[in-house]
Amino acid sequence: MNCTCSPYDNLRPFKRSNIDSISEVYFGVYGFWYKKRCLYIGKAEKQPIKKRLMQHWNGCHNDKLQMWIFAKSSELRITFKNIKDINKIHKYERFYIEKYQPITNKTK
């Protein structure tokens, strides 16, 4: 996959106001970062990115990521990529997981 975007293109603090500012029509992939370390890469293909991030805000399904959110929430950053072709979201998620090796993604 040829992807020239950087996760730092729209990096922002993991705050409720920043999640609220994301468009309801954005679907794609998102990431959690602590300093320059990728913690988690997720996808939002059945619901908007904003809704997925709010689910993490309210209580994360991933225990390892939840511990990071609890311990370092004010220092965490989020980023996302809006992907218009919903059929490509899974491919982008796999690409970013391979590229950034997030430490809290569950291995399959």
Higher-pLDDT residue of 1, 42: 42
Query: pLDDT over 70 for what percent of the chain?
Result: 90
Q: Are 57 and 64 in contact, with CB atoms under 8 Å apart?
A: no
- Residue 80: how many CA atoms within 13 Å on its side-chain side? 28
pTM of the complete model: 0.90
pLDDT band at 1 (very low <50, low <70, confident <90, very high): low
Q: What is the mean pLDDT of residues 62-79?
A: 93
Task: Starting at the earlier edge strand, list the strands of the sheet with 37-44.
Answer: 12-13, 76-82, 28-34, 37-44
List the chain domain ranges: 12-100
CA distances from 88 to 94, 96, 108 (A): 10, 13, 20
Q: What is the pLDDT of residue 102?
A: 96
Q: What is the mean pLDDT of residues 76-100?
A: 94
CATH of domain 12-100: 3.40.1440.10
